[in-house]
Amino acid sequence: MPISIFARITYMILFLFGANSYSLLTDKPVFLTLAILSLAIVNLFPGFLGAKTQKLRVKVVSHGAECLVVFACSSVLSVFLHVFYIVFLPMALGEVFWSAVWAFCMHLFLFWNGMICVYLSSVQLGIKHRAVGLLLGVIPIANAIMLKKIIKITLSEVRDEEEREERNRERTTMQICKTKYPCLLVHGVFFRDSKMLNYWGRVPEELKLNGATIFYGEHQSASGIEESAKELSERILRIIKKTNCEKVNIIAHSKGGLDCRYAIAKMGMAPYVASLTTINTPHRGCEFAEYLLDNIPQKTQSKIAKAYNAAARRFGDKKPDFLSAVSDLTAEKCRMLDSMLAAPEGIFCQSVGSVMENASSGKFPLNFSYHLVKRFDGENDGLVSEKAFAFGGRYRCLRPTGKRGISHGDMIDLNRENIEGFDVREFYVDLVADLKERGL
């Protein structure tokens, strides 16, 4: 639990007293002071005091969740208490009425305290639960069910983050991700490396906490494989010159894996690469991409490419080429490249893939494309077929238990979502720790 049961019960008692002591407040002013003090304590401290986390964001989530727990339990007890007043105590209806008004206002304040905190700070609530929560807020029973869901999600988020922080504290001196050579993270197509929104989500921070040295590819969002490989080759040489690290461990996602293979095999980067790990890379291409290029009219393709290239230039790309990037992902082109770009000797090469169990496993647009890709390519991650992932001496396909599955975006923590059965941050920690054990 984010806070102890004893602390939660204490806050509950304090709030019950403050919110349901109207008759005492009217008799003796001293009780007004006590009531305000108890209400202030409950509105200010739950989730902050006793939370086993150093992150302010997580503390705010914890505080909001605990306020909602107290609200949910206290509101039910308060209703029963006022029924008791009416049935068993000789209280005037006017006094019961104003007591109920006082209790309602205090509960309303606590509720919005909790909701604002979790809405502003929670990562796991997502857009969907926030929107549904607002829509169902005025519908009896449905709002109670949604409140329970919000509490469950946010308490679970706090618990997961606290456990992660504790695990990292216990192994901090081990530096299990401190590899001999730094890690170069290479993004896929249609994305850029950005400080504002990291392509790899929460993964780089987790790796750094465990000793890893991280660099990014910093290449354009959309170019042909050869052009991207050229950019990455220049980036690798700059990293080596800057750090004297001799080599890098490359972890590349999606098309980035093809770009890196080309740089190693065709642009002389083999002496500067210690390992290459490809994540959900279409080594044998996408039948789906080929189908689209064959069936979408050239005029339409040109319009889409022109619009994308113009937008990409505004975000920093110097020579974006949408059509070259897409064309290089077709099954025909990738199979040809796969036969040309054999894994070079002296470089540890491995690959990882994942599959979605159903369309609902992924966010838009992967939930839409899943069925289309499945029709052409079979099992897939929403974009790439499982049969296209394998490369190098070691291949793993991730298949968590249950119905969730792991999408193309999940593999880079795109949505910052905690997936039951798949801890993406710990997956990369284990991956890099294995590179360290191999002396890389």
pLDDT on residue 317: 87
Helix then strand then coil, % of the chain, to nearest 5: 60, 10, 30
Token duo for residue 409: 């975006």
HEC string for 249-306: EEEEECHHHHHHHHHHHHCCCHHHEEEEEEECCCCCCEHHHHHHHHHCCHHHHHHHHH
**Cβ–Cβ under 8 Å, residues 119 and 125:** yes
Measured in whole angstroms, how far is the alpha carbon of residue 37 from the centre of its chain? 39
What gap in Å lies between CA 440 and CA 437, rounded to an integer? 7
Tell me which amino acid residue 127 is. I
CATH superfamily of 174-437: Alpha/Beta hydrolase fold, catalytic domain (3.40.50.1820)
Contacts of 182 (CB under 8 A, 6+ apart): 212, 213, 214, 215, 239, 243, 245, 248, 249
CA atoms within 13 A of residue 2's CA, in its CB half-sphere: 32
Total-model pTM: 0.89
67-77 as b/e: b if 16+ CB within 10 A: bbbbbbbbbee
d(CA 216, CA 440): 18
Task: Please report the DSSP string for 367-389 in residue order.
Answer: HHHHHHHHHHHSSBSSSSBGGG-
58: Cα separation from own chain's centroid: 14
3-state secondary structure of 184: strand
- Beta bridge mates, 395: 351
Which residues, in sequence order, are CB contacts of 339 under 8 Å at separation 6+?
none
pLDDT at 27: 65
Is residue 38 within 8 Å of 86, Cβ to Cβ? no
Query: Burial of 147 by CB count in 10 Å (0-12 exposed, 13-18 middle, 19+ buried)?
Result: buried
Q: Give pLDDT, residue 99.
A: 83
Q: Angle, to 10 degrees, between the axis of helix 331-340 and the axis of helix 287-295?
A: 130
Within the chain, all domains assigned CATH 3.40.50.1820 are found at 174-437
Residues with pLDDT less than 70, the chain: 1-3, 24-27
CA distance 370 to 383: 7
Contact 61, 125 (CB under 8 A): no
SS3 248: strand
Give Cα separations from 367 to 74, 107, 179, 399, 405 (angstroms). Answer: 40, 40, 37, 17, 12
Rounded to 5°, the CA angle 225-213-124 comes to 80
